[in-house]
Structure 1
Amino acid sequence: MSQHEIAVNVPQNLDPVYSNMIQIAYKDDEFTFVFLHQIPGVNQARAKAIVSITPQHAKNLLAVFSKTFADYESKYGKIEVPSGKTPSESVTTIRGYS
């Protein structure tokens, strides 16, 4: 993967968001990521951002995540995921978004 630098202009009014849940939907020409914030103990979540990308960008994102996690874990140690549930068992159906 080649690396190059680009200048990124971040608008002053662009606020960061926190998400502790994500819903991923896809069709033949795009992947859509719905970033959510769920308050513990409440059966409700608020969408904080919706991002759609091409399947090619999604595949590149997967590769970047893999490298980034490997780098992170070599520096800080293994990221422990709570046992007992596989990712497919943790899927939450979200009403109001299709």
Structure 2
Amino acid sequence: MSDEKKHKAEKGKINIELDDTVAEGTYSNLAIINHSVSEFVVDFVNIMPGRPKSKVKSRIILTPQHAKRLLKALGDNIHKFEQAHGEIRDYEKSPVPLNFGPTGQA
């Protein structure tokens, strides 16, 4: 490849870094979504049985255009997943009640 073509090819690439802490990820079993005229806010929470209080683990703020792109990308990925692994069953009622009932005792 000529230097000019190589330069053009490299110019269109985005260098995205992923540090070790972010690469580990954060587990979430609840997403709370709010929006205004200019942004969508998605709060990811991990609620656990017997814990009456939970904290937001991560907050992502998106423009409406990026929220719509995320919806499309997530839909495409779910479709590909189901083609490979079968239908993802949804629950009519959430299996994770928000109150979790009384705390257990040892």
TM-score normalised by structure 1 residue count: 0.74
- Residue number in structure 2 paired with 1:96: none
Aligned-partner Cα distance in 2 for 1:55–1:31: 6
> 1:12 and 2:35 equivalent?
no
Identity over aligned residues, as a percent?
26
* TM-fit CA distance, 1:41: 3.5
* TM-fit CA distance, 1:76: 0.3
Which of 52, 55, 78 is the aligned partner of 1:46? Answer: 55
Aligned-partner Cα distance in 1 for 2:73–2:26: 21
- 1:67 match: secondary structure: helix
Structure whose CA Rg is larger:
2
* TM-fit CA distance, 1:20: 0.7
Task: Mark the runs of 5 or more structure 1 residues left unpaired by the alignment.
Answer: 93-98
TM-score normalised by structure 2 residue count: 0.69
- Residue number in structure 2 paired with 1:23: 32
Q: Which has the higher strand share?
A: 1
- Residue number in structure 2 paired with 1:34: 43
- Residue number in structure 1 paired with 2:101: none
Which AA in structure 2 matches 1:32? V
RMSD: 2.2
How many pairs are equivalent? Answer: 84
Runs (4 or more) in structure 1 with deviation over 4 Å come to none
* TM-fit CA distance, 1:5: 5.8
Which AA in structure 2 matches 1:73? E
For the structure 1 residues 70 and 36, does the alpha-carbon distance in structure 2 shift closer, same or farther, using more than 3 Å as the test? same
